[in-house]
């Protein structure tokens, strides 16, 4: 293989999303070493991985992405959302992204709005209204592509701002079919994101591994409605496991669609939220009431975390993500969020494969 970037792309083709065993090895030994082992059919590599490798046609992958209107964003790219690193060995190697906005910047302030496919009017109305309110502030809404709460959230967000749909199959796979026009509108005005190559079908396991991406890409997860023991609960669990705040919306006690929310609140796995403002309060590193994105370069009202990252950067030269995490003493996701804000404010800029203070 050639560059590191190509190694990440190769891994994204060969390894099933969320494979923690290979992920740990990649994080330990580096992508290029593991890719070499796969291509040499090292006996420590599972047969399934080798078989997928054979089928991948890696030399044409960028072209194939482009042909479905997508680009590949790898861990080596500046567009990579580093908050995904919080997933550790389960972090994806690359993402397929359809849509114009920059993935990383779009997600600097973002919230996952998730919930039941079998939603009620009550849940749909809350998802739609809160998504519109949050998107207008602006906070990017992230959800899946399912019926019910997911669709209501995207529709609401599109009324006022950006929405990101994380799908379980390839970005070009329309699922469910009834959402064809919604998905194409999202690709036009927002982003469709997947960690599986174009053409890949949706599968039950991929919905579950997709949920970890929704949890990790965003700064907080809100469960609007959920049945007991539902798939939505898995997104909440993923978010909790990487210390992202989780919120749930209460509803009438007799509504089966609120039962999962009530259980999450009762078991202290989610805090209770009643308004979109309650949700906004969960998102750390806010800009403050008076700040306008991309406006002033004044450092006055930075959050503690942003200041910490700013103070960790050298006066000359740039620093890479890993070094910044180390220097600041913060978590990867926190540093990523802070970098996004500092960049939006014009205080830092990306340089080489890291960031530097802007003069």
Nearer to a second copy, 122 or 207 (CB): 122
179 contributes a contact to a second copy by CB under 8 A: no
Footprint of a second copy on 184-203 (CB under 8 A)? none
Q: How far is the CB of 348 from a second copy (least distance, A)?
A: 36
Min CB(262)–a second copy separation in Å: 5
262 binds a second copy (CB under 8 A): yes
Burial class, 339, CB count within 10 angstroms (exposed 0-12 / middle 13-18 / buried 19+): buried
Q: Is 249 in the site for a second copy (CB under 8 A)?
A: yes
Q: Is 253 in the site for a second copy (CB under 8 A)?
A: yes
Which of the ranges 17-25, 68-76, 272-280, 325-333 carries the binding residues for a second copy, by CB under 8 A?
272-280
Compute the half-sphere exposure of residue 33: CA atoms within 13 Å on the CB side of its CA: 10
Contact between 258 and a second copy (CB under 8 A)?
A: yes
Of the pair 261, 341, the CB lying nearest a second copy is at 261
Distance CA(31)–CA(34), nearest Å, equals 5
How many CB atoms sit inside 10 A of residue 140's CB? 26
Query: Binding to a second copy by residue 277, rule CB under 8 A?
Result: no
Determine, following the binding rule CB under 8 A, whether residue 162 of this chain makes contact with a second copy: no
Query: Measured between alpha carbons, how far apart are the two ends of the chain, in Å?
Result: 38
Q: Which two tokens stand for residue 269?
A: 């796995």
Return the residue of 70, 108, 187, 265 that touches a second copy, per CB under 8 A. 265
- Helix 332-344 / helix 304-312 crossing angle, nearest 10 deg: 90
Helix (H) or strand (E) run with residue 338 in it: helix 332-344
CB burial string 45-59: b at 16+ within 10 A, e below? beeebbebbeebeee
Residues in region 290-309 near a second copy by CB under 8 A: none
Q: Report in angstroms how near the CB of residue 229 gets to a second copy at its nearest.
A: 15
Binding site for a second copy (CB under 8 A): 122, 126, 249-253, 258-259, 262, 265-266, 271-275
């Amino acid at each position: 293989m050639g560059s590191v970037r190509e190694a990440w792309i190769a891994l994204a083709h060969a390894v099933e999303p969320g494979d923690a065993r290979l992920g740990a090895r990649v994080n330990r030994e580096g992508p290029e070493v593991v890719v070499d082992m796969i291509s040499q059919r090292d006996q420590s590599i599972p047969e399934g991985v080798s078989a997928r490798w054979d089928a991948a046609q890696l030399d044409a992958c960028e072209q194939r992405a482009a042909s479905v209107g997508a680009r590949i964003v790898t861990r080596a790219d500046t567009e990579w959302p580093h908050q995904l690193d919080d997933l550790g060995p389960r972090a994806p190697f690359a993402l397929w992204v359809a849509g114009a906005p920059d993935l990383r910047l779009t997600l600097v302030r973002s919230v996952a709005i998730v919930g039941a496919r079998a939603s009620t009017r009550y849940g749909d109305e809350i998802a739609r209204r809160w998504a519109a309110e949050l998107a207008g502030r602006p906070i990017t809404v992230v959800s899946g592509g399912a019926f019910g709460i997911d669709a209501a959230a995207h529709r609401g967000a599109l009324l006022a701002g950006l929405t990101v749909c994380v799908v379980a199959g390839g970005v070009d796979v329309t699922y469910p079919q009834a959402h064809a026009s919604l998905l194409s509108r999202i690709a036009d005005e927002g982003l469709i994101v997947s960690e599986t190559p174009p053409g890949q079908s949706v599968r039950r396991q991929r919905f579950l591994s997709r949920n970890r991406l929704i949890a990790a890409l965003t700064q907080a997860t809100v469960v609007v409605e959920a049945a007991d023991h539902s798939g939505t609960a898995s997104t909440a669990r993923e978010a909790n496991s990487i210390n992202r705040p989780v919120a749930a919306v209460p509803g009438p006690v007799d509504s089966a669609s609120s039962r999962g929310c009530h259980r999450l609140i009762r078991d202290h796995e989610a805090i209770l939220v009643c308004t979109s403002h309650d949700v906004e309060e969960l998102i750390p590193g806010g800009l403050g009431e008076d700040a306008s994105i991309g406006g002033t370069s004044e450092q006055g009202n930075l959050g503690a975390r942003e200041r910490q990252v700013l103070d960790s950067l050298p006066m000359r030269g740039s620093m890479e993500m890993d070094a910044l995490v180390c220097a600041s003493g913060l978590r990867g996701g926190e540093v990523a969020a802070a970098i996004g804000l500092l960049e939006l404010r014009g205080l830092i800029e990306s340089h080489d494969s890291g960031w530097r203070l802007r003069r």
